[in-house]
Amino acid sequence: MRRTDAVVHDKLRLVPLSVSADRIAHVALRCAVLLAKLDAAGRPVDRTGAGAVLEVYPAASLLGWGLRHRGYKQSRTPDALASIADDLLAAAPWLDCGPYEETIRRSHDAFDAVIAALTARAASLGQTSPPSEGDLATARTEGWIAIPDSPISQLI
């Protein structure tokens, strides 16, 4: 486990997937390539989340905002995603997904993209938990998951 994974577990009782897990390993490798390309293009990557790139764990963001975060990716609970999307839209009535609202109710990938964008907004407003001073050096190497620490209603 990375240090950020341990912090997520301590704060929220969630266990992020390991980058070696079959469901995320390919994505982690693609991310590493993108980060290297950004660096090569003169946009150094700050893995602490203080720069242009932010690591998001959608379940941690949802839980950080006090929203339900379980079951919406499982095919045996097809109505769970629509229900959690309803919760999100009720908690953030200013959020207008326009013609894509139905998409976030049907696609957990689209829903997660919205959560990632909202988490990035929260980070830009200083509404996520940065690494502590003691975790900063480790976060620069391992990365850091942004966890919202303010209500989602404060994102506007």
The pTM for the full model equals: 0.91
In the chain, the number of structural domains is: 1
Q: Does 20 have pLDDT greater than 80?
A: no
Range of the domain at 111: 3-155
| Mean pLDDT confidence for 143-150 | 95
pLDDT in tens, 107-133: 999 999 999 999 999 999 999 999 999
pLDDT in tens, 77-101: 779 999 999 999 999 999 999 999 9
The CA distances from residue 49 to 71, 84, 98, 107, 130, in Å, are 27, 26, 29, 26, 7
* pLDDT score, position 131: 97
